[in-house]
Amino acid sequence: MALQMDRSRLNAFLDRVFPQVADQLRVESVDEHLLIARLLVDDRHLRPGGTVSGPTIFALADVAIYLAILARIGEVALAVTTNASIDFMRKPAGGCDLLAECRILKLGRSLAVGECLVFSAGRADAVARCSMTYSIPPKPAENRALE
């Protein structure tokens, strides 16, 4: 399936629809098979002990998989997470941004399943592995058919 949204459109979408995270998270690259997003880590992402918090890593994975889905289906802002599983595998490297590498495993009409590996920038071993399922709302024409 051809991409519906490229890197610049995805970042513009973040700026417009999710300004609360747009200054922290950017799409680095996207193609038909892989989306890479970067979290610009700063003090607000740290937990005691100086490491990136679990909720921050989860948020990166969630947003990155969401964007990987939108890259394939277009602007469907109301697609929502319906299931999530995350494994925290090692402590992120201090002072490094985080990179999320996301793949869509299944893209149906109403559900999409994606997986994401999160890495400290410049490191080869994953920090976390996440799988998520998203519910995709019906397209407007399908909504009318349901009435």
**Interval 28-85: pLDDT, tens:** 999 999 999 999 999 889 888 889 999 999 999 999 999 999 999 999 889 999 999 9
Distance CA 90, CA 8 (A): 32
Looking at residue 49, what is its pLDDT?
84
Per-chain mean pLDDT for the chain? 92
Q: How confident is the model at residue 23 (pLDDT cuts 50, 70, 90)?
A: very high
Looking at residue 111, what is its pLDDT?
97
Q: How confident is the model at residue 145 (pLDDT cuts 50, 70, 90)?
A: very low
Helices (H) and strands (E) in the chain, counts: 4, 6
| Alpha helices (H) in the chain, listed in sequence order | 7-17, 19-22, 54-73, 140-146
Instruction: Please report, for the chain, the start and end positions of each structural domain, with discontinuous segments joined by +.
Output: 7-146
Looking at residue 143, what is its pLDDT?
45
The residue with tokens 């999320």 is 100
CB 99 within 8 A of CB 37: yes
Looking at residue 43, what is its pLDDT?
84
Q: How confident is the model at residue 141 (pLDDT cuts 50, 70, 90)?
A: low
The residue with tokens 């994606």 is 114
CATH class of 7-146: alpha beta
